[in-house]
Amino acid sequence: MRIAVFSDIHGNIYALDAVLEALAHEPPLHAIVAAGDLALGGSDPAGCIDRLRQARALAVYGNTDEYLFAPHKTPGDELHLKKWDRLLAQVHWARPLLGQERIDWLAALPLKITFSPSADPADDLLIFHANPLNIEDMILPAPPTQLELLGNARQTDEDPILARVLERVAPRTLVFGHVHFTSVRLWRGKKLVNVAPCSLPALDKDPRARYTLFEWDGHEWCITRRYIDYDWQQEIKALQASGMPFFEDYTRTFAQS
């Protein structure tokens, strides 16, 4: 069983096309999965959803997807609540471009997807956006990486959020996005694999698109990363021409890479 997973497309059609083109040259895959935050934040939200559907990709919804199909709900986390006025302006720009049918498609996506290579639930590959219980509480990289990237370890292995969202989860391999940094963190016998971001420069300022392959070898899920160069200047130009409010919030991340 071979599964390809990527996350946090954020409406960047150029990054998504680069990923899908690379996937077309992979050996046969059991499934392609997009782990949320599919449309909001880039120049072509509708095109990204159409591409995913044409590729017959499976998907889960992320927090920015919920903003699109439930704009009456304010974010439950402080980070996104602080910039809700700007996000809501982008939501109101994107919704007419998406149209009701695509919005309904987003609303019908599941919170998580499971692949079972054996009868043992511990062997399952569990895919979600932020964590298995909700779309907001973050799973950060390992504490040493947090210290390097953020200047302090904000989420230790004893953090109560990790225990609350993970300790009753049976699978040993958990796959997600949300935090824009590709990493693997070991926590209480579980492998926490962040596959993001497909579209925006990661916290390490790497602007390449990316996806991750998971292959079951009969005992465990083997992980292979793929990084793809693409012309991200195209997305900057498209954003500048798009009319999306506060597009500079996204072009600025590319300028810093």
Q: Give me the CATH number covering residue 139.
A: 3.60.21.10
Percent of the chain residues topping a pLDDT of 70: 100
Query: What angle (nearest 5°) sits at the alpha carbon of residue 123, between those of residues 122 and 128?
Result: 85
Q: Quick check: 227 and 18 in contact, CB under 8 A?
A: no
Model confidence band, residue 76 (pLDDT cutoffs 50, 70, 90) = confident
Mean pLDDT score, 130-138: 97
Domain count, the chain: 1
Domain that holds residue 139: 2-255
Structure tokens at 177: 């996005």
Predicted pLDDT at 202: 85
Predicted pLDDT at 65: 98
Asked whether the predicted pLDDT for residue 17 surpasses 90, the reply is yes
Q: What is the pTM of this model?
A: 0.97
Structure tokens at 117: 């290579």
Q: Are strands 209-216 and 2-6 parallel, antiparallel or unpaired?
A: antiparallel
pLDDT tens digits along 152-177: 999 999 999 999 999 899 999 999 99
pLDDT tens digits along 83-126: 999 999 999 999 999 999 999 999 999 999 999 999 999 999 99
Asked whether the predicted pLDDT for residue 255 surpasses 90, the reply is no
